[in-house]
Amino acid sequence: MSSEEKFVFESLQDCESIRAFLEALTEGVGSKHLVLSTGGERIELYPQGLLQVEVKARRKGGLSKVSLKLEWKDAPRVETTDRTLSVSSN
């Protein structure tokens, strides 16, 4: 079983500065390649095929929240160095 890879980054931004993050993410989705790294940890994601999108918005007690979740199944990695077809997932 493959180990879990995770990336977490929390910060405080204003609307102007958060645009840069969102634009970078948008570009990553467009090019089907997202690279996220911090402190020696690195995670590369390849969105492809059909992506499940969940948008949630909420306002309660003076606190507002919008969350955008993209979820997809990674394509099985296809090894083609061999004439025999080999399929693995990680």
Partner 1 sequence: MITFEGLSENFRFLVLEVSGQLRATHEFMRAPTRELFDRITGRDDYIDNLKTIIENKCFSRIHTDNSLDRREIHRIRAIHTIAVNLERIADFCVNILGQMAHLSDPGRLRPDEYDPIFAEIKASLNRIIPALEKEDLPGALAICRSEYELDRLYEAVFHRILAEMSDGRSVHDRITTIFIFRYLERIGDSLLNVGEALIFSVLGEKIKIKQFEALQKTLSTSGFGDSLSDIDFRSIWGTRSGCRIGRVERVRGARNSTGDAEGGGGPAQTGPDGKPVPAPGGLGSIYKQGNKKKIIKERDNIARWSTLFPNLVPEIFGYHEDDDSAALLVEFLQGCTLDEIVLTGDVEILQNAMFVLLQTLHEIWERTATPGPVPTDFMRQMRSRMEAVLQVHPGLRREGVDLCGTGALSTEQLIDRCEAIEKTLPAPFTVFIHGDFNVNNLVYDHARQAVRFIDLYRSRDCDYVQDISVFLVSNFRLPVFEPALRERIRWVMREFLVFANGVAAARGDATFQARLALALARSLYTSTRFELNHHFAKDMYLRSHYLMERIVAHRGTWESFRLPVEVLDCGGNAIMREDTPCALAS
Instruction: Give the nearer residue to partner 1 in terms of CB position, either 38 or 48.
Output: 38
CB of 63 to partner 1, least distance (A): 12
Q: How far is the CB of 15 from partner 1 (least distance, A)?
A: 11
Of residues 24 and 68, the one with the C-beta less far from partner 1: 24
Neighbours of 46 (CB within 10 A): 13
Which DSSP letter does residue 2 get?
P
Q: Which residues bind partner 1 (CB under 8 A)?
A: 9-14, 17, 20-21, 23-25, 27-28, 34-40
* DSSP result, 46-85: ---S--EEEEEEEEETTEEEEEEEEE-PPPPEEE-SSSS-
